[in-house]
Chain A
Amino acid sequence: MRGDRWLKVLLRASGAGTAPLALSILITLIFGSLPAIKKFGLHFLSSSVWNPVTDHFGLLPFLMGTILTSILALLLSFPFSMAISIFLGVYHPEGPLSKIISYLTDLLAGIPSVIYGFWGLVFLVPLMRKLELSLGIPPYGVGILTASIVLSIMIIPYTASLSREILKMVPSEIVEASYSLGATTTETILKVILPYAKSGILAGIFLSLGRAIGETMAVTMVIGNSNTLPSSLFAPGNTMASVIANEFTEATRSIHLSSLIYIALWLFVLTLLVNLAGNIIVTRMEVIGEKKNL
């Protein structure tokens, strides 16, 4: 009994602790970026100049880089993660083959990002260079698209694992009902299982998006680190997270440092918005789903 009470206190305290923690991070970021906020204000968002020599700083190239790579990565990974989750959740929920594949998919999530970056650099970059040569564009190899491909592989396990579990949870009654009405497997998946599991799959997608937005190391290694607006998908660019990682250690001038923290603040806001949007969409879909079921 007493142990129970202590556990309760402990759990409550750690639960309540996260809110002030997130808040204090936000306050630190705001405090650190004050000089940049005073100097650039909201103009920071629309300015595409990043010049540490003349102290002109703008977020746009990095915001574009982050959004482009994350969305592209999501689009590239979606078909694969869906295929994996349907295969494991519907076709082969049991058995050694399924175990091996789910183990390998989950393993992808555990690989340190620097290894993804390294793989990208030594394997993917030469491949991209060949492609670029055949297309007749500058053969950098690195760039927005290369970074997106590396990211897309990194986020597969997030969508795939979550969706797989959700698909497994679809009640067998409705699946069997669908079959008994003469539906084919494809029809059952497309018209019964997937609609039922929609909100869970979406939650997985938003989780992946959050991961893609914040990824630093692997992206820095293959994006080309050019602090300008990317002119094409093959052009080098930079993301919010990677410019911070690149320039933070040697930013001696206070306005440079403060601008980097200002980027971190926007990155925080962006992540917050993605999570919020995810939550809202998922809850709304659940509500609609429940209404339909009634």
Chain B
Amino acid sequence: MKNIILGLVMMAALHGKVTLTGAGATFPYPLYSKMFLEYNKLTGVKVNYQAIGSGGGIRQLLAKTVDFGASDAFVSDNEMKKFSSPIVHIPMVAGAVVITYNLPGNPTIRLTPDLIAGIFLGKIKKWNDEALKKVNPGVDLPDMKIVVVHRSDGSGTTFIFTDYLSKISDEWRTTVGRGKAVKWPVGLGAKGNPGVAGMIKQIPGSVGYVELIYAMSNDMPVAIVKNKTGNFIKPSIKSVSLAANIRLPEDMRVSLTNTEAPYGYPISGFTWILVYKDLKDGKLSFEKARTLVDLLWWMIHDGQKYAEPLHYAPLSASAREKAERIVKSITYEGKVLIK
């Protein structure tokens, strides 16, 4: 027993010089845990990440109780004012929200923006609605009531989905709007991706939205969605990566929904890691600050190879270039940490 403890202490002394702590989004959690595990093997740096939700991550960064936060929705201009000193957003990977359903035989269906808005506003009430039939010739749509299932917990998934709906439907934008939690016009709420998926599996005629990775790892039927340029796009890692092929802003606080990229899947979005621009403002020691910047650099380069096996879409070339510039702009007491 004594030897084990001694061994552990020595290991800590040799490797774990620095432990970084982060908190936030649950969506990238499986990827981050994989990345942090691999990074630990490489460098001995320990990263303690708590998937408490994007909201909690931002709150903890604001309170300076963590070294970095993580969020699926970027911090709005209004919320940015709450921070005593500037923060930066570093995109890590892209994810997507897919529309899944429960129909007899689970045929692949196609949806246009108008149809999606109509279904989630409660205006299209039956699966054999003329508008649905017109877009899906040859598909046997049953005479069944549509039961909408949405997330009951506040979530980045809901944010991306309602952000998309707000862009494609004026009625949605004015009556419901976008947010991590909204006032749903119709439907049932279920907690988390598993909750929504479970509910959909149980209720014939139901439709809802889950994260792409969740649908892929559970073999759920997903709808093909018409994007802004008029192409019908099947959600996949490739079409999600392609969604970021647009002109990206320097600060990367950008929504990818309803993308103009011709082969991009329209309900996609980045997930970000948030840090103070000058890490001294975030109450980090110099040593921690250097370790954190090295970690971030690794995550947008070598770390990206762990994304695809876990069904996340890696950063596109242009997105990575912008992310590099942001990581380079991070300072400690005004001095740059990486060149």
Contacts and interface: CB of A to CB of B under 8 A. Distances in A.
Q: Classify chain A's interface size.
A: 20 to 34
B180 interface: yes
A250 B145 contact: no
A250 B191 contact: no
Nearest to B71: A252
B182 A251 contact: no
Contacts of A126: 202
Interface string A50-68: 1111100000000000000
Interface of A: 49-54, 121, 125-126, 129, 138-142, 220-221, 224-227, 236, 238, 242, 245-253, 256
Interface string B56-71: 1011000000000000
A142 B188 contact: yes
Nearest to A227: B183
B183 A252 contact: no
B182 A51 contact: yes
B183 A53 contact: yes
B26 to A, nearest CB: 8
A225 B152 contact: yes
10 contacts: A53-B176, A129-B202, A140-B188, A141-B203, A227-B189, A246-B191, A247-B181, A249-B153, A250-B181, A253-B79
Contact of A141 (B55, B156, B180, B202): B202
A250 B203 contact: no
A239 B241 CA distance: 40
Contacts of B190: 225
Q: Name the prevailing secondary structure of the A interface residues.
A: loop
Shortest beta-carbon contacts, A-B, top 6: A250-B154, A225-B189, A225-B152, A249-B53, A53-B177, A250-B55
B183 A129 contact: no
B59 A252 contact: yes
Interface residues of B, number: 34
Nearest to A250: B154
Q: Which of B177, B184, B189 has the most CB of A within 10 A?
A: B189
A141 B182 CA distance: 23
A256 B154 CA distance: 11
B195 to A, nearest CB: 8
Nearest to B152: A225
Given A53-B176, A53-B182, A252-B79, 6 more contacts: A49-B183, A126-B202, A139-B203, A140-B188, A225-B190, A250-B153
Contacts, number: 96
Given A50-B183, A141-B203, A236-B189, A220 B152 contact: yes
A220 B191 contact: yes
Contacts of B188: 140, 142, 224-226, 236
Contact of A52 (B56, B180, B189): B180
B180 A252 contact: yes
Nearest to B54: A250
Contacts of B11: none
A146 B156 CA distance: 29
Contacts of A142: 188, 199
Given A126-B202, A140-B203, A225-B190, A249 B56 contact: yes
Given A138-B145, A141-B202, A53 B178 contact: yes
B203 A129 contact: yes
A249 B154 contact: yes
A246 B203 contact: no
A125 B202 contact: yes
Contacts of A53: 176-179, 182-183
Nearest to A220: B191
A119 to B, nearest CB: 14
A195 to B, nearest CB: 46
B187 interface: yes
A216 to B, nearest CB: 11
Given A50-B183, A236-B189, A252-B55, A246 B154 contact: yes
A29 to B, nearest CB: 18
